[in-house]
Amino acid sequence: MACCCSVSSKHVPNEPDLTPSPWTLRSGRVAMRPGAAERLGLPRATEDEKLLTSKAPGRPHFLEEDTWRVLRILSEFVEGFEALAGVGPAVAVFGSARSAPGSPEYELARVVGAGLAKAGFAVITGGGPGAMEAANRGAHEAGGFSIGCNIELPHEQHLNPYVDLSVEFHYFFARKTMFVKYSDAFVIMPGGFGTLDELFESLTLIQTGKIRNFPVVLIGHAYWDGLLAWMREVQLPAGAIAQADLDLLRVTDDPAEAVRLIAEYARANGIEG
């Protein structure tokens, strides 16, 4: 991947270059600044949208489009597996792409990323801005390994400049597989629909025995306690979930406690680099 960072004349050899690169939107191996697609007259539909949109009945569309799309999906899995196979112990950190640099949420994610790196974990995020950038930045600044699994989106998502290894995806389901397969724990920062999606998918996979019961740690009582209260007061009495399902979650305001919980799990399960 070509680097678009400018190198300062004051850059010290053997020290990380923290100069932010220009924001870009990615479409496979192509990177564009916001607005470039419109100037080129390119369609705004993402590959996920193309895949999931129903076509008019008829065999030709299937033969000419979807069969070949399967090969692209296959390539995303192959490239992801090859890129991440040697990562070692790692933790995925999720959170809002809209957390502004310098905000309390951003700085908290930065501390979490640094703490995980110092404890010997690679940090995996969605590779974008906000809390993802903050966690990658914290890991990078602490000398850890910072990974971004980025996704093609029509807005909001650009690769942040603190990623050591970037894997680009067209499809959410391929990207999600990488998070689950190569992470030994999930840390969930305050976030929106995408963050909730990752949270509840991990809980569903653990609850149904599809993956091992790894730590899922929520950061921020003020943000998450209302959701947990609803689950406890509405879902639990309705029989939709069990107490054991609620027990899959841990909530803390302290990044050090989150790191400690994950490190204890790793030691107990023989997870080593």
Using one digit for the tens of pLDDT, what is the confidence trace for 182-196?
999 999 999 999 999
Q: How far apart are CA 135 and CA 162, in angstroms?
A: 9
Q: CA gyration radius for the chain?
A: 20
Adjacent-strand bridge partners of 188: 94, 218
d(CA 154, CA 242): 38
pLDDT in the model for residue 172: 92
**Residues in the chain where the model's pLDDT stays below 70:** 1-48, 51, 54-64, 154-157, 273
Characterize the bridge pairing of strands 165-169 and 122-125.
unpaired
Is the overall model pTM greater than 0.85, yes or no?
Answer: no
- Tokens, residue 35: 């607005």
CA distance 138 to 182: 20
What's the pLDDT score for residue 109?
A: 98
Cβ neighbours of 134 (radius 10 Å): 32
pLDDT at residue 70, rounded to an integer = 87
Q: What is the pLDDT of residue 4?
A: 40
Q: Note whether 185 and 90 are within 8 A (CB).
A: no
What is the predicted pLDDT for the residue at 158?
81
Token reading at 44: 């705004």
Q: Please write the tens of the pLDDT for every residue from 205-235.
A: 999 999 999 999 999 999 999 999 999 999 9
